[in-house]
């Protein structure tokens, strides 16, 4: 699966993020295949005399930066590795998955913790979640010793309030073919998709305001994000249903952590912003520069990348790469002062799933070529693009994404001819 670089990953750097994925999750499938009576001699003896008990977990704190040769005790790189051992309680061959959720247990009642990293979120709410697919496992198979089964990078976490937070880590072994309804980290005990539920405690310090404390500023910032997304949707002069639905889905995720009157209040604010921005875009009165300027004042870096991510989702909603939409997003990203390379990674992630045609967009727009570049710089850029997309082609399975990657290579070949 291609890594999605957004929000915190941009702060911490791509190489560190890759290390985290490999270090925390790299051994899961190998470990889960260890079976009773099929391990090493010492493991078999352990099984014979002790047997494997019910599945259990423990939390091991690690510092990625220290393991990579950096300074010790930097909380920004604190990782909570979940290790497990024992037997899951499934009674027949089952497609198992390990699902990690995190709740804030500091107050009277557990509360959801949001994630600032795509790929570590519930699809419908944005609450922290990570899923490890363990494959199909026979009953009676388990872990003879402690093995990695999940992990939490604390810098991805966005709690309700800042300061020291007590965490309730909820680890579920689930049936991937009957995936349970997990919402905001909570799940009914009666859900048949859950095989085992285990809970562990931890803590971390969040340096900043939580999402409940910053709601007022965030509301205004998100209203500006909706304006920018609408400007992309209306770049071709009309609002496609799929583009409007992409913005509505984003609003649904934004209000998911809240409840009661506050949730209804935020829902009204965002829906009003949606209606107003549509009317302004339709009449030609929507000020993109004004929205960018205001967002620059209100938002931290993660929220700016959140805005660009939504703009790309709107662009990709109708499945067609449109010249005006791509240019609009590029202008917004430049206005927010975001890193060119990181924006290109977000852009590529969406382009690979879209229809690419020179009828909708020029070679320069699709391949991100600046018309002011010299021929020499353009050719170097095309060489880099070729290496990137050729590597991507070799990792994709047969299907639409692989076909689109080949189209990108074809466009790069056209570009090389043009700028030869």
Q: Print pLDDT tens along the chain (420 aa).
A: 233 333 333 333 433 333 344 444 444 443 344 334 444 444 443 444 345 789 999 999 887 655 555 555 555 567 899 999 999 999 999 999 999 999 999 988 999 999 877 778 898 888 999 999 888 988 888 888 888 899 898 888 889 988 999 999 999 999 999 999 999 999 998 899 999 999 999 998 888 778 777 766 778 899 999 999 999 999 888 898 999 999 999 999 888 888 888 889 999 999 999 999 999 999 999 999 999 999 988 887 778 888 998 999 998 887 777 778 888 898 999 999 887 777 777 777 777 666 655 555 677 877 878 888 888 888 888 888 888 888 877 877 787 778 878 888 888 888 888 887
pLDDT value, residue 408:
81
Residue 45: which H helix or E strand, with range? helix 41-50
| 214-351 CATH | 1.10.3680.10
| 8-206 CATH | 2.60.40.10
Q: Dig out the tokens for 306 from the structure.
A: 């959140």
How big is the chain by its Cα radius of gyration, in Å?
24
- Find out whether 85 and 55 touch, Cβ atoms under 8 Å: yes
- Find out whether 98 and 149 touch, Cβ atoms under 8 Å: yes
Residue 145 φ/ψ region, left for φ over 0, alpha for ψ in the -120 to 50 degree band, beta for the rest: beta
- Show the 3-state SS of 388-420: HHHHHHHHCCCCHHHHHHHHHHHHHHHHHHHCC
**Dihedral through CA 262, CA 267, CA 270, CA 272, nearest 10?**
-110
Does the reported pTM lie above 0.75? Answer: no
Distance CA 94, CA 176 (A): 8
- Find out whether 155 and 77 touch, Cβ atoms under 8 Å: yes
pLDDT value, residue 131:
92
Task: Please name the residue that has the structure tokens 């309804």.
Answer: 181
pLDDT value, residue 327:
87
Residue 13 φ/ψ region, left for φ over 0, alpha for ψ in the -120 to 50 degree band, beta for the rest: left
Distance CA 45, CA 50 (A): 8
- Find out whether 96 and 88 touch, Cβ atoms under 8 Å: yes
Q: Which residues of 90-105 are buried (b: 16+ CB within 10 A; e: fewer)?
A: beeebbbbbbbbbbbb
List, in sequence order, the alpha helices (H) in 207-259: 215-233, 241-255
Distance CA 385, CA 409 (A): 8
Q: Dig out the tokens for 333 from the structure.
A: 């990203």
């Amino acid at each position: 699966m291609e890594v999605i670089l957004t929000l915190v990953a941009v702060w911490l750097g791509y190489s560190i993020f890759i290390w985290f994925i490999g270090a925390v999750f790299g051994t899961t499938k190998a470990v889960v295949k260890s079976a009773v009576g099929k391990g090493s001699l010492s493991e078999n003896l352990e099984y014979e005399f002790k047997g494997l008990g019910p599945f259990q977990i423990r939390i091991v704190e690690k510092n990625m930066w220290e393991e990579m040769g950096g300074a010790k005790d930097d909380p920004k790189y604190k990782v909570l590795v979940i290790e497990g051992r024992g037997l899951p309680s499934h009674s027949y061959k089952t497609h198992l998955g390990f699902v990690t959720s995190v709740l804030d247990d500091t107050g009277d009642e557990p509360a959801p913790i949001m994630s600032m990293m795509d790929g570590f979120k519930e699809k419908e709410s944005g609450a922290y979640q990570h899923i490890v697919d363990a494959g199909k496992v026979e009953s009676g198979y388990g872990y003879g010793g402690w093995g990695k089964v999940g992990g939490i990078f604390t810098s991805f976490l966005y709690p309700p309030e800042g300061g020291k937070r007590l965490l309730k880590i909820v680890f579920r072994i689930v049936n991937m073919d009957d995936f349970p309804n997990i919402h905001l980290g909570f799940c009914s005990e009666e859900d048949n998709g859950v095989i085992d539920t285990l809970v562990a405690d931890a803590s971390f310090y969040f340096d900043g305001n939580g999402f409940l404390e910053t709601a007022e500023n965030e509301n205004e910032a998100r209203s500006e994000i909706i304006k920018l997304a609408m400007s992309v949707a209306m770049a071709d002069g009309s609002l496609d249903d799929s583009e409007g639905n992409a913005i509505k889905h984003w609003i649904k995720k934004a209000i998911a952590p809240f409840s009661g009157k506050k949730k209804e209040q935020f829902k009204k604010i965002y829906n009003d912003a949606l209606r107003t921005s549509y009317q302004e875009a339709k009449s030609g009165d929507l000020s993109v520069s004004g929205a960018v300027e205001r967002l620059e004042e209100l938002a931290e870096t993660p929220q700016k990348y959140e805005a660009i991510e939504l703009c790309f989702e709107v662009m990709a909603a109708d499945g067609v790469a449109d010249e005006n939409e791509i240019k609009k997003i590029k202008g917004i990203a430049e206005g927010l002062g975001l890193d060119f390379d990181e924006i290109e990674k977000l852009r590529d992630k969406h382009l690979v799933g879209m229809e690419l045609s020179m009828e909708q967009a020029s070679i320069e727009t699709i391949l991100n070529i600046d018309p002011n570049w010299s021929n020499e710089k353009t050719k170097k850029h095309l060489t880099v693009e070729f290496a990137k997309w050729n590597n991507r082609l070799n990792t994709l399975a047969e299907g639409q994404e692989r076909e689109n990657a080949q189209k990108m290579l074809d466009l790069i070949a056209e570009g090389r001819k043009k700028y030869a």
